[in-house]
Amino acid sequence: MKHNATLRRSILLTLAMTAAFVLTACGAIAPPGWHALSADDNQVYVSAGASVVALDGTTGTPRWAFDTGADQGTSSVATGLATNLYSPVEVASNGDLVITAYSQAIYGLSNTGQVLWGFDGKPDRDTIITSEATLTDNNVYFASGNFLHSLDDVGNLEWSFESDEALWGGPLVTEAVIYQPGMNHTMYALDVNGAELWQSEALVGAVASTPALVDGVLVTGSLSKHIYGLDPDTGAILWDRETIGWPWASPVDGGNGVVYMGDLDGGFYAISAATGEVEWQIQLEGGIPSPPTLEEGILYVATGGGFLYSIDTADGAINWTAEPEPDFDDQLLASPVIFDSLVIVATTNGDQLVYAYQKSNGTPSWVYEG
């Protein structure tokens, strides 16, 4: 029975991803996304429905909530742009917060939930924001429709880059180069002013997630059962590794020349960034649509099968497994977050929205009922 429930959840995840792909490619409003998590040193932020809720990371007690449909007062964003959120709150270096919404509204918030600025990217709402924001000290970058936009740190548009097809994943921003994945099977490299430096040769499959730059190799997955290593200076393909399923989520730099990433069929991989060789590979229950969270040699992986895994980076050994809602079809689609001694996940359904576990052994700590 448990296996059947996991299979059902995996099928639902694949259907949801496919529907989102089709709708976004057609320029239509995408279906509601999943709940997402992030954290700073003081609190945990959950994007749920049309709201962001800040929780006490130790106890799960709510502290404040921000509603995208509420009157934003002096914000430049129009009142009442209620929309579902799916991307995590991004925490700037000064402690401020940035949240993106499907309606193409972007908000800058204080860490007490007060609106600092707003950007209304598309008043007619014909297209949507498809990526989470990427922050630097001075800029906010995000993909929307066929465009990559750069805002300054108070929400003013600085420049836009246009692709011939949709840009879905967020950019990787380095000191001198911005790497932007494209649904047209291409990776772009731009300078800091948005001018194109190069675009890669056509890859097999759309590139829908942020790449990682690891030891001089740009690593990215594509929606074609391939992971690529690209030359960051030219876009040339250095290596190509096939996977079990679509590698939707962004790769994570292990800090040891290895990248870690999963695919939508539950395959999870440790891959040499230099050569593309698989160091180890394991099979998890449910697709993996979000990047793993890495801390002190341990990977925390959430799956569409409704499981949270603690995995050793050395050999892929599973330390423990937790299943927040074993009796329901809840999926864990967002990356886990770490808060002190806890690893925290968000579900997609049910009365309990956020679960916290002890990192050491997976023992439950608290539950937030959204």
Higher pLDDT, 109 or 123: 109
Q: How far is CA 76 from CA 9, 109, 160, 300, in A?
A: 40, 13, 19, 38
Residue 91 token pair: 């925490």
DSSP per-residue codes, 41-52: SSEEEEEETTEE
Give the model confidence (pLDDT) of 279-315 as tens digits. 999 999 999 999 999 999 999 999 999 999 999 999 9
Residues 6+ apart with CB under 8 A from 41: none
Q: How confident is the model at residue 274 (pLDDT cuts 50, 70, 90)?
A: very high
**Number of separate domains in the chain:** 2
Which among 300, 317, 222, 295 has a CA at the least distance from the CA of 263? Answer: 222
Q: Residue 157's CB: how many other CB atoms inside 10 A? A: 11
* pLDDT over 50 (residue 25): no
Which among 211, 212, 239, 213 has a CA at the least distance from the CA of 226? Answer: 239
Where is average pLDDT lowest: 102-111, 215-224, 248-257? Answer: 102-111
pLDDT value of position 26: 42
Residues 271 and 322 in one domain: no
Mean pLDDT, all residues of the chain: 86
Q: What is the mean pLDDT of residues 71-94?
A: 68
Q: How confident is the model at residue 353 (pLDDT cuts 50, 70, 90)?
A: confident
DSSP per-residue codes, 69-82: TS--TT-SSPTT--
Distance CA 360, CA 105 (A): 39
Residues 39 and 52 in one domain: yes
Q: What is the dihedral of CA 12, 17, 23, 25, to 10 degrees?
A: -160
Run of H or E residues at 157: strand 157-162
Residues 276 and 262 in one domain: yes
Higher pLDDT, 36 or 337: 337
Which range of residues forms the domain containing residue 340? 288-370
Residues 145 and 242 in one domain: yes
Distance CA 238, CA 344 (A): 36
Distance CA 232, CA 214 (A): 10
DSSP character at residue 290? S
Q: How far is CA 193 from CA 98, 159, 181, 198, in A?
A: 21, 7, 17, 14
Domain boundary among 287, 302, 330: 287
Q: How confident is the model at residue 12 (pLDDT cuts 50, 70, 90)?
A: very low
Domain boundary among 259, 287, 315: 287
Residue 321 token pair: 């497994």
* pLDDT over 80 (residue 3): no
Residues 45 and 183 in one domain: yes
Q: What is the dihedral of CA 284, 273, 90, 160, to 10 degrees?
A: -120
Q: Residue 255's CB: how many other CB atoms inside 10 A? A: 11
Residues 277 and 329 in one domain: no
Residues 195 and 272 in one domain: yes
Domain boundary among 226, 253, 287: 287
Residues 274 and 159 in one domain: yes
Residues 275 and 240 in one domain: yes
Q: What is the dihedral of CA 143, 145, 147, 148, to 10 degrees?
A: 0
Residues 335 and 248 in one domain: no
Higher pLDDT, 345 or 30: 345
* pLDDT over 90 (residue 370): no
Which among 9, 84, 21 has a CA at the least distance from the CA of 248? Answer: 21
CATH code of the domain covering residue 79: 2.130.10.10
CATH code of the domain covering residue 296: 2.40.10.480
Q: Residue 368's CB: how many other CB atoms inside 10 A? A: 21
Residues 370 and 261 in one domain: no
% of residues, the chain, pLDDT over 70:
82
Q: What is the mean pLDDT of residues 156-170?
A: 93
Where is average pLDDT lowest: 132-141, 165-174, 311-320, 327-336? Answer: 327-336
Residues 28 and 103 in one domain: yes
Q: Residue 350's CB: how many other CB atoms inside 10 A? A: 14
